[in-house]
Amino acid sequence: MPEHRRIGYNWHLRQVMAQRNLWKSTDLMPLLKARGISLSESQVWRLVTGTPERIPARTFAALCDILDCTPNELFEPVVEMRAATRVNAPAAGEDPLASRPETISHRVRIVEDDG
């Protein structure tokens, strides 16, 4: 059975900006504009303070150029969730109660009450 994984990512733009002494999202706007990326103040603010769901490749490349960093420094893929492994599960075709010694089975005979 293939492993099922949910992949997410961490966005480190704000931390990388701080390492380069860029403290405000408005400081990033003219640098992006000089590279042909025109974003509004609110778009740049969301890019810096949030985790973008989508980012155009040109914008991503411009950020790497501005901050003199690699994509790996801005974007870190992480595994958010893995499927549970089958611990102590019976194999296919195996009796599920056979692997549990604490399980006690009894035959019960039901009789009708005479009264």
Cα separation, 34 vs 27, whole angstroms: 12
Mean pLDDT by 10 residues, the chain (115 residues): 78 95 93 95 95 94 96 91 62 64 66 76
User: Which pLDDT value is given to residue 109?
Assistant: 75
Q: How far apart are CA 19 and CA 110, in angstroms?
A: 78
Q: List the Cα angle 59/55/71 in 5-degree steps.
A: 70
Asked if the structure places residue 91 within a domain, the reply is no
Residue 11: beta bridge partners? 75
pLDDT in the model for residue 3: 66
Give the predicted TM-score (pTM) of the model: 0.65
Range of the domain at 18: 5-82
CATH of the domain at 50: 1.10.260.40
Does residue 46 belong to any structural domain of this protein?
yes
- At residue 6, the pLDDT reads 85
pLDDT at 113: 79
Looking at the structure of the chain, the number of domains it has is 1
Q: What is the pLDDT of residue 101?
A: 59
